[in-house]
């Protein structure tokens, strides 16, 4: 189908003094954000509100998922990055911080130690800052997932991305539906009090029943928070959009997800993993 977007997916270019301040600070400190790397459509809104999602471990990913705009060749981790991120969070006065990363299959610990060091650096400066992580699957290894959870994040997310049938179409061959579910289960087992989170992108050709089945699988894995959004083809991306869902359809899925027992659900055409993440962190439950 055509990639021409419907009206409800059109966003205004980023602007405003708060956005400019965020942009200048991030540039000056030399840190990476997923906002820019993933071509996120919500960058203007989030940065204008003083919210950003930081990208750890560089811009080079060892996997090549068809839905993703991130590529490049991985470089050695920057040992100064945890403190640089903590300094950025402090200087920007952030009360809610999201940390994510590229996938680093080339590292012995898959980057788990780097995540843990960054969480600890932020919490050392200000224990009251809420830290949310969006992590790769780490091959589903309990020891690596336990090390991350043990560093003290408030929310740990890992994205299942799509329904089982479309995993091979959308994700790198080294990723899998079952490994992702196992990772989410292991996180909750390691720390039952830590909120867990996952995200689905729709419009790849999935059926409504496949989405329901996937949400049920996530609940069985103990996932507390769910984000559901429209897949948007990144510039130069090989994976086309099959269909644009309407805002009404996303609202229906939101109600169904709450009925399944999710504690917080963000569902809408422009919803992304970290979009308005502070709301999920602050709320225990919001009625659909």
Residue 3: per-residue pLDDT: 60
Residue 63: per-residue pLDDT: 95
Write the DSSP assignment of the chain as a string of letters. Answer: ---PPPGGG--PPP-SHHHHHHHHHHHHHT-EEHHHHTT-TTHHHHHHTT--EEEES-S--S---TT----S------TTHHHHHHHHHHHHT-SEEEEEE---TTSTTTTHHHHHHHHHHHHHH-TTSEEEEE---GGG-HHHHHHHHHT--SEEE---BS-GGGHHHHS-TT--HHHHHHHHHHHHHH-TTSEEEEEEEE-SS--HHHHHHHHHHHHHTT--EEEEEE--PPTT-S-----PPPHHHHHHHHHHHHHHT-SEEEESTT--TTTTHHHHHH-S----
pLDDT in tens, 99-125: 999 999 999 999 999 999 999 999 999
Residue 170: per-residue pLDDT: 97
Query: The pTM is what?
Result: 0.87
Q: Which residues of the chain have pLDDT under 50?
A: 36-39, 284-288
pLDDT in tens, 37-76: 444 555 555 655 556 789 999 989 999 999 997 878 999 9
Q: What is the CATH number of domain 14-282?
A: 3.20.20.70
């Amino acid at each position: 189908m055509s990639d021409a977007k419907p009206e409800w997916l059109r966003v205004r270019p980023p602007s405003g003094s708060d956005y400019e301040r965020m942009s200048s600070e991030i540039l000056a400190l030399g840190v990476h954000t997923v906002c820019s790397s993933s071509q996120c459509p919500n960058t203007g809104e989030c940065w204008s509100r003083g919210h950003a999602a930081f990208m750890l471990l560089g811009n080079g990913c060892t996997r090549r998922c068809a839905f993703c705009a991130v590529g490049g060749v991985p470089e050695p981790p920057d040992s100064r990055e945890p403190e640089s991120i903590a300094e950025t969070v402090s200087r920007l006065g952030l009360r809610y911080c999201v940390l994510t990363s590229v996938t680093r299959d080339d590292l012995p610990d898959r980057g788990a130690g780097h995540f843990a060091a960054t969480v600890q650096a932020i919490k050392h400066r200000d224990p009251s800052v809420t830290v949310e992580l969006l992590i790769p699957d780490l091959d589903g290894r309990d020891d690596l997932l336990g090390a991350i959870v043990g560093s003290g994040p408030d929310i740990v997310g890992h994205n299942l991305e799509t329904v089982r049938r479309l995993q091979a179409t959308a994700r790198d061959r080294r990723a899998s539906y079952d490994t992702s579910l196992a990772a989410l289960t292991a996180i909750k087992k390691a720390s039952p009090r830590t909120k867990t989170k996952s995200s689905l992108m729709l419009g790849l050709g999935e059926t409504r029943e496949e989405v329901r089945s996937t949400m049920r699988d996530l609940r069985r894995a103990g996932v507390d928070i769910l984000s559901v959004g429209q897949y948007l083809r990144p510039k130069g991306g090989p994976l086309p959009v099959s269909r644009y869902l309407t805002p009404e359809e996303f609202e229906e899925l939101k109600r169904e997800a709450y009925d399944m027992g999710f504690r917080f659900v963000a569902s809408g055409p422009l919803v992304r993993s970290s979009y308005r993440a502070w709301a999920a962190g602050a709320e225990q439950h919001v009625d659909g």
